[in-house]
Each structure stands twice: as C-alpha cells, then as structure tokens.
C-alpha cells in the first residue's frame, strides 16, 4: 500500500521478471552465483547460470544440487568458451541479466542487452582507494589494511587497490606493510599454514607480472616484487612505495597481490586524488576520529565506503557501484527488488 484516502487507493505490487541470466566471474564462482540466484528465486524468477570458462565445476555442482529439490527448468547451467555470452544476453526470452566481471565486458553486456531493453545489474571493476588519516597507530591499522588488500591474493573487486597515507606516518605504515608481506606464507591452500594462494589463471598471472615490472620501474618495492619459482601461478605479496599517481599500478585495477602506497599531506587534495578514476566501487577511510573519518568518507565517489574496515558485505546491506563500476544494486531489499517488475495499481473510490 502506497497511500489511501477518500479519493483513491494506490498499491504497489512486485511481480517476477521471468528468466534471469546470471553470469559470474572466476574469482568467487560460488558466492557471486548465490548473490544472483537467491534473490531471483525469491522473486519468482527462473535462472540460466553461466560461469567463467576457467571455473565451471562449482556451478555445475550447484546446478546438480538444485535439480534434486527444484522443478525442472528453474535453475539451468550452460558452459562455454566465452562464445555464448552475447547469445544469452541478447536472447529475447531473457528478461534480466545479472553480471559480475570487468568493466570492459560489462559494456559489451550492456550493448547486447540494449536490443530488448533488458533489466541489468552490472557489478564491475574497481580501483578502491583507502585513505589513512594522520591520527592512526600504524602497527594497529597496517594488518587490517594488508588483509583487505591481499584477500584472495588481491583477486577481489572490492579489495584495497590504492593506499593513501598521511606524510607524518607514511614511512611507519610502509614499514609495517612490508613486514607483513615478507612474513606471508604463499603456497598451496591445502597445506597447513598457507596464508595466500595463487593467481587463478595464466592470463591474469601474466597481467600481474606486467604490473610487477611497472612497479619496479615506477616506484620502490619494499617487499615482494616477484613470482615464486616452480609450478603454479604464485606471486609474492608486494608493497610498492614512492610511486606517482600516473603509474599504471595506480591508474588500473591490478587484481593481484600488489599494493601501491602513496603519500599525501592535505586532506582535500587526497580526496581529489582518490576520486580521480573512472571506477567507483568501494573505498575506506581509517582514523581514530570516527566523525572526521565519516566526513571524509562522505566525499568519496564510490558505491560503498567503509570507515575503519573494508570488505564488509552482508545480505541485508545494499551493494552498488558508482561511475564505471556498475549499474543497479545487489543485496538488501533494493537488490531483491531489482529482480522484479513493479506495478502500480491506482483505484478510484
């Protein structure tokens, strides 16, 4: 019920859209699938899921489990070699596309869906900036920032990708981050004690190696800077300081365990530098003064900005990107409504 008075009654209904295409990336092939399938089913839609070609098995297993409890055709899985995406997103029987992936691919999805004006949810790339104010304890804040930058070997859309630290504590924060990176245990996740795993595929591994080359050229590597010898796509956790804003590692999304640390002295200036990007997925502000940090966070151009934490997502909290980091909302009530068609019924009395 929206409103009711002596002249009218206005009711809003939410109806299922129909068939939803859920297209997921390789970095979190299970949880990102659930973020799409769960609200679609709750809204009464059916789903065609298409995983990344490099991570098909978990989605196939999920489809197998769904087939045991759901009617035929409610959850469907298709696999490809990156050759069926356009056919799926452009199909006239698909009412909505829920996509997570790179900004470049998101633009192609949007073009393909334009022919039928499909509903879209695009969760795209990010180059999340974290700003550390001068009043923090470097030893206390560094482990939290390090964890948020290196989570899943940096292969996380909302990981910290750029770190801006006040000049007065810059050296101390760099030293702490470097220590953490040097002490990290990188290897097979099935082995006891491993803290960081590999890059997921060869193409991304080669891309990250290119960022390492640029980091050695453009900045000062204080920890890491190389790959592990032997089998597997393992990259050393890397901290880079004294790097300019125009370096590739700062401008682009590295999607690997390589963190640039930049120096600043003026708050207004660093906010401008943090916002100087085509991306706007997430960000964070770190300070002993939460009110001051909130004021800085409110000026960051991003869909989600955390204060004194990062990577905190929940099914009851909306998640969306700004600028070229996405369209639409995932999770929360707003995310659920994205999988419905709102209908307003206006009755005269």
CATH number for the domain including 93? 3.40.605.10
User: Could you tell me which of 166, 148, 146 has the C-alpha nearest to residue 157?
Assistant: 148
Active-site entry in 4, 140, 157, 278: 157
The per-residue pLDDT for 55 is 97
Structure tokens at 160: 């910290």
Mean pLDDT of the chain: 97
Q: Are residues 157 and 44 in the same domain?
A: no
Q: Is there a contact between 230 and 250 (Cβ–Cβ < 8 Å)? A: no
Whether residues 47 and 173 fall in one domain: no
123 is catalytic: yes
Residue with tokens 């910290």: 160
pLDDT band of 297, cuts 50, 70, 90: very high
Residue 315 domain-assigned (yes or no): no
Both tokens assigned to 167: 């000049």
The active-site residue out of 4, 64, 66, 123 is: 123
CATH of the domain at 190: 3.40.309.10
Residues 150 and 289 in one domain: yes
> What's the pTM?
0.95
Judge if 153 and 98 occupy the same domain: no
Count of structural domains, the chain: 2
Per the domain annotation, does 26 fall within a domain?
yes
pLDDT at 230: 87
Integer Cα distance of 101 and 122 in angstroms = 8
Can you tell me the mean pLDDT for 96-125? 96
- The closest of 167, 180, 81 to 132, measured between CA atoms, is 167
Q: What is the pLDDT of residues 227-265, one digit of tens each?
A: 998 899 999 999 999 999 999 999 999 999 999 999 999
Instruction: Look at the chain and count its residues.
Output: 349
| Residue 343 scores a pLDDT above 90 | yes
Q: What is the mean pLDDT of residues 73-96?
A: 96
Q: Provide the 8-state DSSP code for 1.
A: -
pLDDT per position as a tens digit, 14-39:
999 999 999 999 999 999 999 999 99
Q: Are residues 177 and 293 in the same domain?
A: yes
Q: For residue 128, what pLDDT band results from cuts at 50, 70 and 90?
A: very high
Please check the confidence at residue 1 and state whether its pLDDT lies above 90: no
CA gap 45, 17 in Å, rounded: 6
Residue range of the domain that includes 223: 129-307
Strands (DSSP E) along the chain, which ranges?
A: 3-4, 8-16, 19-23, 46-50, 75-77, 94-100, 119-123, 129-132, 162-166, 220-223, 238-241, 258-264, 282-286, 304-307, 319-320, 326-327, 329-330, 340-348
| Residue at 223 is within a domain | yes
Same domain, 339 and 271: no
Q: Check whether residue 231 and residue 87 sit in a common domain.
A: no
pLDDT at 298 over 90: yes
Is 157 in the active site?
yes
Q: Determine the average pLDDT of the residues in 35-44.
A: 98
Indicate whether 234 belongs to any domain.
yes
Average pLDDT over residues 261-280: 98
């Amino acid at each position: 019920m929206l409103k009711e008075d002596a002249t009218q009654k206005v009711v809003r209904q939410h109806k299922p859209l129909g068939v939803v295409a859920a297209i997921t990336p390789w970095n979190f092939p299970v949880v990102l699938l659930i973020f799409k399938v769960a609200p679609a089913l709750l809204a009464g839609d059916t789903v065609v899921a298409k995983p990344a070609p490099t991570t098909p098995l978990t989605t196939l297993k999920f489809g197998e489990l769904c087939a045991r409890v759901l009617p035929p055709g409610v959850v469907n899985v298709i696999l490809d070699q990156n050759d069926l995406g356009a056919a799926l997103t452009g199909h006239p029987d698909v009412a909505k596309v829920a996509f997570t992936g790179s900004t470049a691919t998101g633009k192609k999805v949007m073009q393909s869906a334009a022919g039928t004006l499909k509903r879209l949810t695009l969760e795209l790339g990010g180059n999340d900036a974290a700003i550390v104010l001068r009043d923090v304890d470097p030893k206390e804040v560094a482990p939290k920032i390090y964890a948020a930058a290196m989570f899943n070997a940096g292969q996380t859309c909302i990981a910290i990708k750029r770190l801006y630290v006040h000049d007065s504590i810059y050296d101390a924060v760099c030293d702490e981050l470097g220590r953490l990176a040097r002490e990290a245990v990188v290897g097979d996740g099935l082995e006891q004690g491993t803290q960081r795993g590999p890059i997921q595929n060869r193409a991304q591994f080669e891309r990250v190696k290119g960022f390492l080359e640029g980091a050695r050229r453009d900045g000062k590597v204080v920890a890491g800077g190389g790959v592990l010898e032997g089998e597997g796509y393992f990259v050393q956790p890397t901290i880079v300081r004294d790097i300019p804003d125009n370096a590739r590692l700062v401008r682009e999304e590295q999607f690997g365990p390589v963190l640039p640390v930049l120096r600043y002295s003026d708050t207004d200036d660093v906010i401008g530098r943090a916002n100087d990007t085509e991306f706007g997925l997430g960000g964070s502000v770190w300070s002993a003064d939460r009110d001051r940090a909130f004021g800085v966070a409110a000026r960051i151009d991003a869909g989600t900005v955390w204060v004194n934490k990062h990577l905190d997502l929940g099914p009851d909290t909306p998640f969306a990107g700004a600028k070229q980091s996405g369209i639409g909302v995932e999770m929360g009530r707003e995310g659920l409504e994205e999988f419905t068609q709102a209908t307003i019924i206006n009755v005269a009395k």
